[in-house]
Structure 1
């Protein structure tokens, strides 16, 4: 075929004109769909349908332009129109169509960009497949059933964290919020997500009702909602179905392995699962040695009721390892209990992410064997890509090994998934300070103070950074704001380490009362 003749024929048959006009009009229709549809809460599938039809229609339009021609007598086949003695119309109406459509398209484009609300602008900077699961409301008559709602929330987060295509905020960052807050846009901004899942749980005897709704914050629209009524023993299916429905609503791709992981039913014993959820809920808010022992007790009760409950064995191993690592009980008996629970979990489910996580913590917290721990955490990360726990642990290990830059990289990954975790923020800020990256340290301490305003420990740590920068005046202001009634020994140790501030006489009146009050409170017999 002669290409020159072919392209000449395309031009003669107005195929080029049709292609340009179609492209401009198609762009106009896409702008209408993307900019106007959301205001009327038209579902996303309708926008995708419009785009799909436009794409399919393009080759059809080109074929029609080749085979037919518009004449004053109407639409005729090109061969017939060529044979007719009438003179071909020189109308340039198509040019006006293109220009008008182009003007409308550009107008809609910039209208959507410049009139977008602040919350829409913020949402554009976060992943559309990001989600935070807020605390579930306990609707049971018995307020003691709050542990059950808390456990269901945690289990859904864990399942979502197994989906690599999703960004899932850790429960540590979401637990500080209410079940159904009114300021969703502010919460989404703080957590860096585009979507929020709200829910409630009602438990009566062996019956459970779970209500969930997925909200797209930018448009304040419900992407999906459902109610599940199940027997207690079948609550696992609810957790799996919710995770799958969320993935579908956010158009997240599920691999075969992820689908299998979501469908796993860890136990058939409802009492064992109830004890497991009690341990899970208490573990999140444990604040004393007594709480830590109670957590261990709940997991022990769970595995007694179902010796084949691998997930509970893994949690039991981790709970014992944490008691051992925190020096609450560093006896050989505690170490043996940790290892025994881990060995049982490995026999039952050696390759599950929960078992591998227990193994990694045993290597890190109990054996202090960092290289094998890093390798095991790496395996866990492949199975739980959305977990903040893994990069957080790797950050601490890297710091212990003197790999400071690597520790910083891990902290950044951790805080992306757990932005309101006060422990992680404090550790990250401290690491920045050790590297003398003072601006980053101060910024991180400010994030921490945004969560816990006027916290004396954080104020003292930030003052230490200002001292290291040579800004004694600012350090003095922070110390002056420390609550003189606190009994935190940590603040005293941090405050006493910045004695260089006292070399500035102008700071003395503000600093001394706070420091003396701290010392009297902490050092009293």
Structure 2
């Protein structure tokens, strides 16, 4: 058989085909991207080469090349075969083709690609663009242009890009660029300004090497608002080329793609981005949703606007900021629309990932965020989102790891620090959480969220003195949910019920007060504080008013874990232990596979059973919590009036000892920055 293969020159045909195919694949993978030929074309070439091999071998077995053309091997004399006549020449051609393929491969590996150690030279931070417009309201436009350039840079795998939140403090005239670059851990800084006058826009950008303040590249773009849509891609491409960051064909297409051709739609989109990217605020989120809605009304094919509208609407729903608006269904249809319009876009996959996360499909969310990460390799948001998924799924160690990666990409992002602290606190790693909080506070002194979280870590340990040193100087701001919650929790364990009552009364009396995910427990907490103070009449009135308002919401909206728990706490206050037991159980059931909500509702159920006087059930539930890996609040267990009638019970003492040992043990696993 081998002799017959050799006689028919099949071995030469196989070698020649392999060499030519390899050369063709090398050309496709290395040259096609420079001409913006899609990656799909490269895949087609590779598949065609593989499929063609057996056909080429069959052809060489049955046919021969003769001076008169191609003929069946069985029909010709051996001397007529060109291949047999020029065997040595054919061998030289095979060697030449293989050599050329090897040279092209080595050129790619050694000449076109930089060593991995040089990757730090491709790191960049985009500082906030200065708004030079006479109208201060145009600040959103400068911020949006900066954000769009940054997003495109994040799509280049060869670059390391610091996220927007880490550079926010350097707005205006930042000062020493070398020091800023050192703090941000980058080698290059992009500065810019935007001036918008009527329908004319001037964008001035310059790329600087921070080490020696060398100006590497700069450009001024004078465009009309109807011609501004491609500038961001032009800037990102120029920066990548200046930093010698090799672009794949797909990356080139992503950078060049215009999200919309409608300037008014793009303007509305930029306004929406400003509200979405700002600090968490129900008012700004609702405004962002309205602006994204305007963008897609003006351009129904604007996939990015559909994606971000889905993300914002889902965030409003998930945080129960708009309890009766159908935001979830809106988010679902918007995510589907974005994917229909642009299945290749990172934003479409982000929208799908957030939707699946918020509907507790954690496997689907992981897949979607992985797809987004392929398209946004430099995105801290993707790592942060993946960390949230793992935390809700109960994979706390993995969540901590991913959130640390997000912080490494975006060290100034307080949201990521706060998320990481929550994951650490769930496991009772209070000492570790304070290390990260101190790091965040060094960058953002006086940040109310971080201060309240640090105080909360002391309360988790039962250290009310340390918590007080942080909180006593802070104002009771009813607009700051984090700070208000922790301050009133501290006042409760101190038995300072007057402060608690005043705080909740002020919040409920505010002209813009709404019952939402952050305020559903105000009525039960106010009512119980009034009872503990001894004002039974006021407590009963509060419980009845809260019962009416929350029960009305349940009738219109159905079950919700926070709503059910708040209702059960009120029913316990009104002496209806059966209703309290029922609704506390429904709160736990409604949490589903959300491990964060599951523990929170089981913790609430335990307190509700205690308040309802269901002693044995409460102590059984408390014992089960003590065996859970999630940590409990030691200040509550030691000092909260909820447990005043239980602390002498041996079962309570055993549960408390377990909770204390759990936090002490976990604190030995400190995770330093």
Q: State the TM-score bracket (shorter-chain normalisation).
A: 0.5 to 0.7
Of the three residues 297, 308, 312, the one matched with 2:290 is 297
Is the partner of 2:229 in helix, strand or coil? helix
Return 5+ residue gaps in structure 1 as ranges. Answer: 1-123, 503-511
Question: Is residue 169 from structure 1 mapped to residue 158 from structure 2 by the alignment?
Answer: no
Q: 1:517 to 1:218 in 2, by over 3 A?
A: farther
Number of the residue aligned with 1:478: 470
Query: Which residue of structure 2 aligns with residue 187 of structure 1?
Result: 180
Q: Deviations over 1:270-302 (max 9, x none)?
A: 111111111112222265433222211211111
Per-residue deviation, 1:467? 6.3
Once residues 220 and 438 of structure 1 are traced to their aligned partners in structure 2, the CA distance between those partners, rounded to angstroms, is 42
How far did residue 446 of structure 1 move? 0.5
Offset at residue 457 of structure 1 (A): 4.5
How far apart, CA to CA, are the structure 2 residues paired with 1:517 and 1:453? 30
Tell me by how many angstroms 1:382 deviates. Answer: 0.4
Which secondary structure does the structure 1 equivalent of 2:385 belong to? Answer: helix
Q: Is the 8 A contact 1:324 1:331 kept in 2?
A: no
Question: Across the two proteins, how many residue pairs are aligned to each other?
Answer: 389
Matched, 1:453 2:445: yes
Residue 210 of structure 1: CA displacement? 0.8
Determine the C-alpha separation between the residues in 2 that align with 1:125 and 1:523: 57
Q: Say whether residues 1:345 and 2:342 are aligned partners.
A: no
Q: Is the 8 A contact 1:476 1:501 kept in 2?
A: no
1:489–1:522 Cα contact (<8 Å) kept? no
Q: Secondary structure at the match of 2:222?
A: strand
Q: Label 1:159 to 1:361 Cα distance change in 2 as closer, same or farther (>3 A).
A: same
Give me the whole-angstrom Cα distance separating, in 2, the residues matched to 1:351 and 1:213: 30
- Residue 318, structure 1, aligned to residue 299, structure 2: no
Counterpart position of 1:146: 139
Partners of 2:468 and 2:266 in 1: CA distance: 52
Inter-CA distance 286–448: structure 2 relative to 1 (3 Å threshold): closer
Structure 1 contact 138–145 (Cα < 8 Å) conserved: yes
Aligned mates of 1:328, 1:493 — CA distance in 2: 17
- Write the mapping of 1:71-470 to structure 2, written as runs, cut at 5 A: 127-285=120-278, 287-331=280-324, 333-365=326-358, 367-466=359-458
Structure 1 residues 135 and 454, CA gap change in structure 2 (3 angstroms): closer
State the Cα deviation string for residues 326-352 of structure 1 (Å, max 9, x = none): 212244732232222222222211221
CA displacement at 1:485 relative to structure 2: 4.7
Secondary structure, in 3 states, of the residue corresponding to 2:365?
A: helix
Aligned-pair distance for 1:353?
A: 0.9
Q: CA deviation at 1:127?
A: 2.3
TM-score (norm 2): 0.54
Q: Conserved in 2, the CA contact under 8 Å of 1:210 and 1:228?
A: yes
- Aligned residues of 1:408 and 1:431 also touching (Cα < 8 A): yes
- Specify the SS of the correspondent of 1:164: coil
Alpha-carbon offset, residue 223 of structure 1: 1.9
Contact 1:145 1:203 in 2 (8 A): yes
**TM superposition shift of 1:178:** 1.2
Measure how far apart 1:131 and its partner are.
Answer: 1.2
Alpha-carbon separation, structure 2, partners of 1:489 and 1:278: 26
1:399 positional shift: 0.9
Over 3 Å counting, the alpha-carbon distance change for 1:347 and 1:181 in structure 2 is: same
Taking the aligned partners of 1:423 and 1:501, their CA distance within structure 2 comes to: 28
Q: Is the 8 A contact 1:135 1:174 kept in 2?
A: yes
Distance 1:469 1:192, change over 3 A: farther
Q: 1:251 to 1:324 in 2, by over 3 A?
A: same
What is the SS of the residue equivalent to 1:180?
coil
Q: Distance in 2 between matches of 1:405 and 1:315?
A: 29
Q: Cα deviation per residue 1:445-491 (whole Å; 9 max; x = unaligned)?
A: 002212332345433432444566787775554345x3255445534
CA distance in structure 2 between the aligned counterparts of 1:521 and 1:217, rounded to whole angstroms: 53
Distance 1:323 1:189 in 2: 37
* Aligned twin of 2:104: none
Change beyond 3 A, Cα 1:522–1:457: farther
